[in-house]
Each structure stands twice: as structure tokens, then as C-alpha cells.
């Protein structure tokens, strides 16, 4: 029986010789943001578990609790059919090179489990690590400043993968309706009167253009009724009058 897109497992995130517990925690946080929970650690420098990982994970405890530790890259990906190495192209290594977007599409389309390798913070993956992979994933990045930290690299790849699955959308916030035109006209007229009294409109030949500019400015944002009332209260206060009601 072949696997469908719905049954293809999410990819494993494999951190190869990670150095700092904080970075492991941040990577776990990035994973869970986009629905990934299979974290595999290859020979973490400071051992595992690492007390510094928890606070950095900011609540992604389920990822840390399920994390598995392996001695070698080969052991970590032994159950995976498709291995991706996140790195720049290595000399002497001839493998397909794709972007995270292309890799994500392939992971969703190919039967069997996938793993994505990320190298140590300072040096990245070594040539022998990349040799285990079948495909290289490279992020298009500023050639003059190509520095991505571990969590940033993980979140880029995880985000591209998540675009092909149904994650919960952020909650929608109900917005107040725009103010009726009559309320805006009242506010603009109030401002015009105050500016006339302050001799703002000068020279006379520029008055129509200046008033049009003010109207454009005040109608562009889509004010709510509450915002209109607030600003009219400000104008009244500046004029030394009691704030308008209603």
C-alpha cells in the first residue's frame, strides 16, 4: 500500500553535534511553531538532557521530552528514506541542490520518512555528514552576510514544510466598523474651523489644495467612530472647549 500525502510522516529534524542547550531549545520551539515534534540529536556536545534547553524552548517541552540521542548521523536517520542536508554546496560532493520550498514539496510527495540535517552552530555539517544525505538544501541568502543561527535555519525549513499542511490559523480579531462619512465630515469641519481661527490657511491661493490634502490625510486610514470621537475630543481640548459627546 502506497502512502498518501495525509499519511506521509512529518520530517525528523536532526541536529548534528549541537553545541549549546539554548540553541537546541530554540530549535525545538521553532519546530513546534510549525507542527514538527521529531527531534533527533547526534552527539550533543554538552550531553542530554541539557537544563539550558527548557527555558529556551519557551513551552515546546513535548519536543524536548521526545528528543532522541544518537551516536552517529547514520544511526539517527536509519529509518528514513529521504535525507536532506542543510548546507552550502560542498566541494567534491555531487548531489541535487534545492531550496527549502522545493525540499518541502518533495517531502510531502515522496513515500517514506524524511530527515533534515542541521550542522553544529559554528562550523555546519562536515563533508562526511553531507555524504549521508541524498539532497542538499540551501537557503537563498545575502551573499555578503550569510550568517543564519541554528533556530533560524530550522524555522525556515519547518515553515516551508508547514505550508502544505493544515495548521490552525491565528485567531481573528474583530475590528470596529469604519466611521460613517458624516462623522468624518464633522471632524474635518471642526479642524478646518480651528485652523481658520489660527490663520493656518495661507496664502489664499493654496487654501483649496491644503484643505484637500488634509481631507485626504484624515480619510485615508479608515477611522472608526471611537477614533473620530477621540480626535474631536483632542481638538476641542486644544480649543479650550469641553469634549463633544455622542
Domains of the chain are 12-162 (3.40.1280.10), 181-238 (no CATH)
Output the pLDDT for position 1: 39
Phi-psi region for residue 222, left (φ > 0), alpha (ψ -120 to 50) or beta?
A: left
pLDDT tens for the chain, 246 residues: list them: 345 555 789 999 999 999 999 999 999 999 999 999 999 999 999 999 999 999 999 999 999 999 999 999 999 999 999 999 998 765 566 789 999 999 999 999 988 899 999 999 888 899 899 999 999 999 888 878 877 889 999 999 999 999 988 665 666 677 778 788 898 889 889 988 888 888 888 888 888 888 888 888 788 777 778 878 877 877 887 787 654 444
Residue pair 244/236 in contact (Cβ under 8 Å)? The answer is yes
So what's the pLDDT on residue 169? Answer: 61
Q: What integer pLDDT is reported at residue 46 of this predicted model?
A: 95
pLDDT on residue 67: 97
pLDDT of residue 2: 45
- Give the model's pLDDT for residue 89: 61
Number of H helices, E strands in the chain: 10, 7
* pLDDT at 146 (0 to 100): 73
**How many beta carbons lie within 10 A of that of residue 242, not counting itself?**
9
- Cα distances (angstroms) measured from residue 113 to each of 22, 24, 58, 75: 27, 22, 28, 14
How far apart CA 33 and CA 35 sit, in angstroms, is 6
Taking alpha carbons only, the member of 129, 126, 154 closest to residue 13 is: 154
Note the pTM of the prediction, 2 decimals: 0.69
Amino acid at each position: 500500500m502506497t502512502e498518501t500525502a495525509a499519511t506521509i510522516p512529518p520530517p525528523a529534524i536532526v541536529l548534528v553535534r549541537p553545541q549549546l542547550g539554548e540553541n537546541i531549545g530554540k530549535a525545538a520551539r521553532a519546530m513546534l511553531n510549525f507542527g514538527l515534534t521529531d527531534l533527533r540529536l547526534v552527539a550533543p556536545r554538552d550531553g542530554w538532557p541539557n537544563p539550558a534547553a527548557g527555558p529556551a524552548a519557551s513551552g515546546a517541552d513535548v519536543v524536548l521530552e521526545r528528543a532522541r540521542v544518537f551516536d552517529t548521523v547514520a544511526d539517527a536517520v536509519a529509518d528514513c528514506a529521504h535525507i536532506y542536508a542543510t548546507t552550502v554546496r560542498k566541494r567534491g560532493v555531487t548531489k541535487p541542490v534545492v531550496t527549502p520550498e522545493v525540499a518541502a514539496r518533495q517531502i510531502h510527495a515522496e513515500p517514506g520518512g524524511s530527515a533534515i540535517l542541521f550542522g553544529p552552530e559554528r562550523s555546519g555539517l562536515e563533508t562526511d555528514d553531507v555524504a549521508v544525505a541524498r539532497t542538499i538544501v540551501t537557503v537563498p541568502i545575502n551573499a555578503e552576510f550569510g550568517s543564519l543561527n541554528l533556530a533560524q535555519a530550522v524555522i525556515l525549513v519547518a515553515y516551508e514544510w508547514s505550508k502544505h499542511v493544515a495548521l490552525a490559523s491565528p485567531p481573528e480579531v474583530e475590528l470596529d466598523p469604519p466611521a460613517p462619512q458624516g462623522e468624518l465630515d464633522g471632524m474635518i469641519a471642526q479642524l478646518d474651523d480651528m485652523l481658520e481661527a489660527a490663520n493656518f490657511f495661507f496664502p489664499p491661493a493654496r487654501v483649496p489644495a491644503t484643505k484637500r490634502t488634509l481631507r485626504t490625510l484624515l480619510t485615508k486610514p479608515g477611522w472608526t467612530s471611537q477614533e473620530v470621537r477621540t480626535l474631536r475630543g483632542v481638538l476641542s481640548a486644544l480649543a479650550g472647549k469641553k469634549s463633544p459627546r455622542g
